[in-house]
Amino acid sequence: MPSTIYKLGLILALQAAGLLAVHPISETPSLSCWLVEDIAATESKPRSVQQTRVLVQFTDANGLTQSPPATTDPGTLLFYVFDPSGKLSLDFTFCEITYHLPQEAFMKWTRSLTAEGISTPALGKAWYTLAAGNHLDGRAVSLVLGPLGDKKDHLSVSLAVYSASATLHAHLGKPLSVPCTMWRGHQPRFSVEWRHRALGDGSLLYAYDGWKDKIEDRVPNCHLNFSALHNEGDASLLIENVEISHQGTLLCTVYLPYLRAQREIQLVVTARPQVTLQPAPLLARPGEEVTLACDISHFHPLEILVDFLVQLPGESHPTLLTGSTLSAHTHNHDGTYSITAYQRMIASDNLHGARYFCRVSHVSAAKGISSSQMLRVAGVSGPSLEDVMILFLTALFLYGTLSYLRKKVVSLNGSHEELKAQKNKSE
């Protein structure tokens, strides 16, 4: 009967909905990436870069997924990746894949890794480098993906180099640990290299052969924690005393036999400025033009914002002044900068007791830095406590000076009388 069929259909639909609510269909965890290929130039086409969308699905060591593979759009590649390092995250906001060519490295700190000259057959298959990270918190990782089994689209992480932050701020003159962590599985042979790059120039900071446990090269002031390196994979570079010359890009590179992965950390060196507002004390006559000079010294980097403000008597908040000027900056011997800001104002009776501020905004000071002076206009409210103190000190100074001069005169006169008496006796 039709009514019976409808009832059965409704019952089955309700049962299916209940099952879905208890056991929802879940897709395999996946990460959206781009495969970037460098296309060589031909007679008819110039050199170009080709990008292909890739969907990375996480699998186990056997290349198996816990749920059906996600459906992909036409033209999208599907890679099944086993990540024993645990560094690949679904919340990465960018992901790029490039082809990786396994090859021997010829630096002296990597020669021991391939001294036998024997490579595995797997190196002849397709290898990739996957670079991913999160723009929000700065986390980033570089992975080397090798073949997992015989299928071309099944891959496994063989090397991972991870940094907790892509940009690092360091205080001038302070110690610093530049973060870099590696995962190499059970591979005992590895080397670590740190380089510095700035304004097109590069230099080697540290080179360590982990297989020989030997420091091959290093600059003073830089170290590695070997216990943390071997036991935890912590390859962080320890800088004893940060200098302006350290600013730039620091590259952490880890080498395995025929493989390598690298992370870049942008280092910004900051120095907190010293701020002084002149003249001090701030005294003026009515109608006198006064130039406030705000000396800002020994700061880094150069980008800085300087404002002048005034808080009038009886007001609770200062107001911004306009018309300030800046001098040309000077470059100090330690690499820091100094600059002076100027603000002109005309002293008047109603400005007596006003407080003037020089406020500096700089990356080294999150809450800003300020220096202030209170304006005293002569003859407005009689001598203040500060005026009385100054007059007292001035009088004390004059008294001491006059006493000293009097003693000198008396001493000179006494000497003259003694000489005259001695002369009379001799005659």
Residues 242-264 pLDDT 10s: 999 999 999 999 999 999 999 99
What helix, strand, coil percent values describe the chain, rounded to 5? 20, 45, 35
DSSP category for residue 198: E
Question: Is 158 domain-assigned?
Answer: yes
H or E element in which residue 255 lies? strand 248-256
**Are residues 206 and 321 located together in one domain of the fold?**
no
Using an 8 Å Cβ cutoff, are 175 and 273 in contact?
no
Helix/strand/coil for 69: coil
| pLDDT confidence bin for 6, thresholds 50/70/90 | very low
Question: Is 408 domain-assigned?
Answer: no
Beta-carbon contacts of residue 203 (< 8 Å; ≥ 6 apart): 195, 196, 197, 219
**Are residues 357 and 266 located together in one domain of the fold?**
no
Instruction: Output the pLDDT for position 407.
Output: 77
Number of domains observed in the structure of the chain: 2
Question: Is 401 domain-assigned?
Answer: no
| Sheet hosting strand 191-198, strand order edge to edge | 167-171, 259-270, 248-256, 191-198, 201-209, 214-218
Instruction: Output the pLDDT for position 21.
Output: 41
Give the range of the structural domain holding residue 300, as residue numbers without chain letter: 274-377
Question: Cα separation of 191 and 116, whole Å?
Answer: 16
**Are residues 308 and 238 located together in one domain of the fold?**
no
Beta-carbon contacts of residue 79 (< 8 Å; ≥ 6 apart): 33, 54, 55, 56, 57, 97, 145, 153, 155
| pLDDT for 12 beyond 90 | no
Question: Cα separation of 247 and 227, whole Å?
Answer: 27
Instruction: Output the pLDDT for position 61.
Output: 82
Helix/strand/coil for 249: strand
**Are residues 361 and 262 located together in one domain of the fold?**
no
**Are residues 315 and 172 located together in one domain of the fold?**
no
**Are residues 216 and 311 located together in one domain of the fold?**
no
Whole-model pTM?
0.75
AA identity, residue 338:
S
Range from 146-160, 219-233, 382-396 carrying the lowest mean pLDDT: 382-396
Question: Is 416 domain-assigned?
Answer: no
For range 206-232, the mean pLDDT? 96
**Are residues 240 and 154 located together in one domain of the fold?**
yes
Question: Is 76 domain-assigned?
Answer: yes
Identify the CATH number of the domain in which residue 94 sits.
2.60.40.10
Question: Is 415 domain-assigned?
Answer: no
Of 356, 377, 398, the residue that ends a domain is: 377
